[in-house]
Structure 1
Amino acid sequence: MVPYFAICYFAGLRPDSEARALRFEHIDWKEGHIKVDVTKTNDGPNRYVEIEKPLRAWLRSWMRRKGPIVPDNFAKRRRRLIYGYYTTPGATLADEAKWKQLVPWGHDITRHSYDSYWEAANRGKAGSRERIMSNMGHRDFKTQECTEPGGG
């Protein structure tokens, strides 16, 4: 699950659609980008997200892999991780309501984190607003501002 989470945290892909459909063949190491061909609306063109140094370091061990980035039992494992199953005392799979409510927007926590950290690191740099919008697949900055938990 490391490639999936690394790409979600360090490239901002939508975890339930874009990252889930991603294959190792979509990662172009020579050109330094990830081709995102499954988008939220499926009517937009492909987008290319830069592979920055931290993501390259995380994925180095998988550079020669082929196939999907997600493991076979992905859905169950991801749900348990992002909603706190492993850190909730007495949690059982049968009682998902007990642990899922701890992080109601957990499905998008990686994307929100990428957006926030990238924006903070690049605030004020020429072209940074346009670049983060492009990386995130947003058409305008108003959409970008709504990616924060509790946003409009």
Structure 2
Amino acid sequence: MNVVVESPVGPLGADSDGTAITRLIWGRAGNVDNGPLGMRFEQEMSAYFGGDLRDFTLPLAPAGGPFQQDFLQALLAIPYGETRTYGDLAKDLDVSAQAIGQACGANPIAILIPCHRVLAANGLGGYSGAGGIEAKVTLLKLEGAAGLLI
């Protein structure tokens, strides 16, 4: 049986290449089963949503070229409960804020690679996960970043 984690943003599953998570699946199970990786995925996601985990340790293998990989590493560097703007990341990576927005939308492992922590200069910005902005707000509130939303 494949793993599905119930969460405040709906059911979540994952795909894997056999050794690492390659994609978060919204609304249903992916190909990750109840083996060691699946058990770890379920434990870490449940602990995160329970407020007991700030940093995931699951092995991740997101697809993407060199820029996307650099961008995903920049997302992983944003601490739990903190945010950055599209402009902040654009400056750090020497690209346009639009490129950052597109890279956020292409993040295959949302939540684990925290694109929800990236905001527009004057608001929330977008969110490509199921549930859109409501899911982003839920994740930011979970991490105690809700004060930034007011």
TM-score above 0.5, yes or no: no
- Computing the radius of gyration from Cα coordinates, the structure with the larger value is 1
Identify, as 1 or 2, the structure richer in helix.
1
Bigger relative CO (Cα 8 Å, ≥ 6 apart): 1
TM-score, L = length of structure 1 = 0.28
The two structures have a TM-score, normalised by structure 2, of 0.29
